[in-house]
Structure 1
Amino acid sequence: MNWTQIAQNYWVSPQIDASQLTEAKAMGIDTVVCNRPDNEEPGQINSDVLRAACANLGLDYLFLPMQGPNFSTDYVEQIQQLNQADKKVLAYCRSGHRSSVLYNAAMA
């Protein structure tokens, strides 16, 4: 597990795979947020694969892909809603940085 806790109920991570979702579920994660666009690099796991794996485990999945540190107000609002609902979130991108940027924007 290479996850960084940045808030009480929010972790960020580099690219995850389906096997890590069982661990996320065991930790009490409610929602997985993907901030990585599909096909960003060869061999990357497609978001649909992780969405299906999340569904099999009863986890919610949001696909909020970011190009660099750029995000929309809709993305900010969705992260704010997760926080207000006290959801336990694991967000990922290539390195975890974009996920952190979006969370910080939502909490500003």
Structure 2
Amino acid sequence: MQTQPLEQGVEITSALTLDELDEVKARGFNAVICNRVAGESYDFPDEASYRHKAKQLGLAWVHIPVKPGEYSQEDIQAFADSLAQLPRPILAFCRTGKRATHLWAYARRQSDQCELATLLTAAKEAGFDLEDHRQALEGQTP
């Protein structure tokens, strides 16, 4: 499992297997945000087994399922609330890490007006380009 930091206490990764939740816990994460949609691929038929295992391991678990590029204000607010309320460090994931990165950027921009340049740089360092989202991110307001 490879992770990339977005900010202090928040990292992203690509698709986690159920067994990798043990590693998530061993690496010191306290919470997981899952942005995968149940049934989106053979390796993620649903999130119930993940939620159950996370609970067994003492990990906080939040499921905010989103389709690629389809981020509603409710999804963004749920991600922002999770960032504010979950115990850190937090690991967010989807199939590639892209949705998790996008939601993080929108949530940070909306909830605390994080500087756009900071978000763009953090996302790029994590391997994701937010330039296609620049205009929408500029319009985010708390």
TM-score, length of structure 2 as denominator length: 0.68
Q: Counterpart of 1:20?
A: 20
- Asked if residue 104 in structure 1 is aligned to residue 105 in structure 2, the reply is yes
Count of residue pairs brought into register by the alignment: 108
Q: 1:95 is aligned with what amino acid?
A: T
Give the conservation status (yes or no) of the 8 Å contact 2:62–2:82: no
Q: 1:103 is aligned with what amino acid?
A: W
Distance across 1 between alignment mates of 2:45 and 2:12: 17
In terms of mean alpha carbon deviation, does 83-92 or 35-44 score higher? 83-92
Q: Counterpart of 1:2?
A: 2
- CA deviation string 1:58-87 (max 9, x = no partner): 111111111112222232223223333463
Distance across 2 between alignment mates of 1:88 and 1:75: 21
In terms of mean alpha carbon deviation, does 72-81 or 51-60 score higher? 72-81
- Asked if residue 94 in structure 1 is aligned to residue 102 in structure 2, the reply is no
Q: Secondary structure at the residue paired with 2:19?
A: helix
Structure 1 gaps, min length 5 = none
> CA shift at 1:47, angstroms?
0.8
Distance across 2 between alignment mates of 1:42 and 1:81: 30
Give identity over the alignment, percent: 24
Q: Secondary structure at the residue paired with 1:18?
A: coil
Distance across 2 between alignment mates of 1:70 and 1:25: 30
Matches within 5 A, 1:1-108: 1-85=1-85, 87-108=88-109
Give the conservation status (yes or no) of the 8 Å contact 2:64–2:78: no
> RMSD over aligned Cα, in angstroms?
1.7
Give the conservation status (yes or no) of the 8 Å contact 1:17–1:45: no
Q: Which has the larger radius of gyration?
A: 2
